[in-house]
């Protein structure tokens, strides 16, 4: 493999010295960019874009051409695993992802097979391979998956949900069924992420987008143990380097200490947490990623710069911080405001690494 020219992001995740705070954005390849919208139109629909390795590579690289970013993230979707399990993923305009079939009973869950990542999910591996090749060592490539709990919410509900009524009903009335589903998903995620590493991913991220919908005890029963299982099962070295693993529970500020105990390398923070407080709580155990509110990007460039400076100051001196938004960039953000955000991190973060 080509030697990595910029390893700032990987070094920060491992709390090694860097010259400035690295930055990338969740959903950096996405609908806010006109070039993305053009490529998606060329593909025809979202899943066709995901399944075409050349086009998935193109949209992955688009933000790197515009901005001074320190990492690329695989262009894909968290619901590839449930789709490969045979639930029939489709997208309705304005309504988000839906499944033709649900995993909402013990009988349905028992029928689910763990997908072979090189077969049913081979299109993802083709994309990873293609992107890694086309990056030419400029920046590292992040692979990712949804967490078992988050994937299960879509599979049991049949799509997106605001109340999570069906899966919470299963949690409290049929916990054995839900634990079987979560266990199958954890096994699937381990295989999936390890295949991404084998195909060229240099860092891994697990998105627990809906972990924050759980109560304190339920999080520790239905989400955290399955992320722990995944961390324990992952390939942590490839190409002569450590492969850092980041866990991100949106709304997970209550559980940072417990998440840090899993053996992951970094925690993602949403914007509801003060990053300085988070650093004091987890100590030297893990690096931190985050955590500007994506809505700040609707502000003026001056307001964006002010917020960047505030977060950098809160984290303070030393490595172990990857600057990011507290969740994905919003669709209607001006790309020039994203540039102001990234440029502000590049401009102001060096002083914290002397």
Q: What is the pLDDT of residue 134?
A: 97
Query: In the chain, what percentage of residues exceed pLDDT 90?
Result: 97
For residue 38, is it left (φ>0), alpha (ψ between -120 and 50) or beta?
Answer: alpha
Q: What is the mean pLDDT of residues 20-40?
A: 97
Distances in Å between the Cα of 20 and the Cα atoms of 123, 317, 321, 323, 348 are: 35, 10, 10, 10, 8
Q: Which of 36, 67, 154, 219 is an active site residue?
A: 154
Is 154 annotated in the active site?
Answer: yes
327 annotated as belonging to a binding site for a ligand: yes
Q: What is the pLDDT of residue 3?
A: 86
Q: Cα–Cα distance between 232 and 255 in angstroms, integer? A: 19
Residue ranges of E strands in 235-313:
237-238, 241-242, 245-249, 266-268, 287-289
30 annotated as belonging to a binding site for a ligand: yes
Is 27 annotated in the active site?
Answer: yes
Per-residue pLDDT for 280 more than 80? yes
Is 31 annotated in the active site?
Answer: yes
Max CA separation in the chain (angstroms): 59
Query: Which residues lie below 8 Å from residue 150, measured CB to CB, with a gap of 6+?
Result: 78, 207, 208, 209, 210, 211
27 annotated as belonging to a binding site for a ligand: yes
Q: What is the pLDDT of residue 1?
A: 56
CATH fold of 8-353: TIM Barrel (3.20.20)
29 annotated as belonging to a binding site for a ligand: yes
Q: pLDDT (tens digit, 9 = 90+) per residue, 322-354?
A: 999 999 999 999 999 999 999 999 999 999 999
**Residue extents of the structural domains in the chain:** 8-353
Degrees (nearest 5) of the Cα angle 302, 306, 308? 115
Q: Cα–Cα distance between 58 and 79 in angstroms, integer? A: 21
Per-residue pLDDT for 92 more than 90? no
Least confident residue range of 86-95, 139-148, 157-166, 212-221: 86-95
Is 132 annotated in the active site?
Answer: no
- pTM of the predicted model as reported, rounded to 2 decimal places: 0.97
Degrees (nearest 5) of the Cα angle 322, 298, 333? 80
Per-residue pLDDT for 275 more than 70? yes
* Both structure tokens of 254: 């209550």
Per-residue pLDDT for 94 more than 90? no
Is 36 annotated in the active site?
Answer: no
């Amino acid at each position: 493999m080509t030697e990595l020219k910029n390893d700032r992001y990987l070094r920060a995740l491992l709390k090694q010295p860097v010259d400035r705070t690295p930055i990338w954005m969740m959903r950096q390849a996405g609908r806010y960019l006109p070039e993305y919208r053009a490529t998606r139109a060329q593909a025809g629909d979202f899943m066709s874009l995901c399944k075409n390795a050349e086009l998935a590579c193109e949209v992955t690289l688009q933000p790197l051409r515009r901005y001074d970013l320190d990492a690329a993230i695989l262009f894909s979707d968290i619901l590839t695993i449930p789709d490969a399990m045979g639930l029939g993923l489709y997208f309705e305009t304005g309504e988000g992802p839906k499944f033709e079939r649900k995993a909402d009973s013990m009988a349905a869950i028992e029928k689910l097979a763990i997908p072979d990542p090189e077969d049913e999910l081979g299109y993802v591996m083709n994309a990873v391979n293609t992107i890694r090749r086309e990056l030419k060592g400029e920046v590292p490539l992040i692979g990712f998956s949804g967490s078992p709990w988050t994937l299960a919410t879509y599979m049991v509900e049949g799509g997106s949900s605001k109340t999570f009524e069906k899966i919470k009903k299963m949690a409290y009335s049929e916990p054995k069924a839900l634990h079987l589903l979560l266990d199958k998903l954890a096994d699937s995620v381990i295989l999936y992420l390890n295949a991404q590493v084998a195909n060229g991913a240099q860092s891994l991220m697990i998105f627990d987008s809906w972990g924050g919908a759980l109560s304190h005890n339920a999080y520790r029963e239905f989400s955290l143990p399955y992320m722990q299982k995944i961390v324990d099962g992952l390939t942590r070295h490839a190409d002569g380097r450590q492969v850092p693993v980041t866990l991100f529970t949106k709304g997970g500020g209550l559980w940072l200490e417990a998440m840090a105990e899993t053996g992951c390398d970094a925690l993602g923070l949403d914007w509801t947490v003060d990053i300085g407080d988070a650093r004091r709580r987890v100590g030297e155990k893990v690096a931190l990623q985050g955590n500007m509110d994506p809505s700040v990007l609707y502000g003026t460039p001056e307001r964006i710069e002010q917020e960047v400076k505030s977060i950098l100051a809160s984290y303070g001196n030393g490595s172990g911080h990857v600057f990011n938004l507290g969740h994905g960039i919003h669709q209607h953000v001006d790309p020039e405001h994203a540039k102001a955000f990234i440029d502000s991190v590049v401009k102001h973060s060096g002083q914290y690494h002397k």
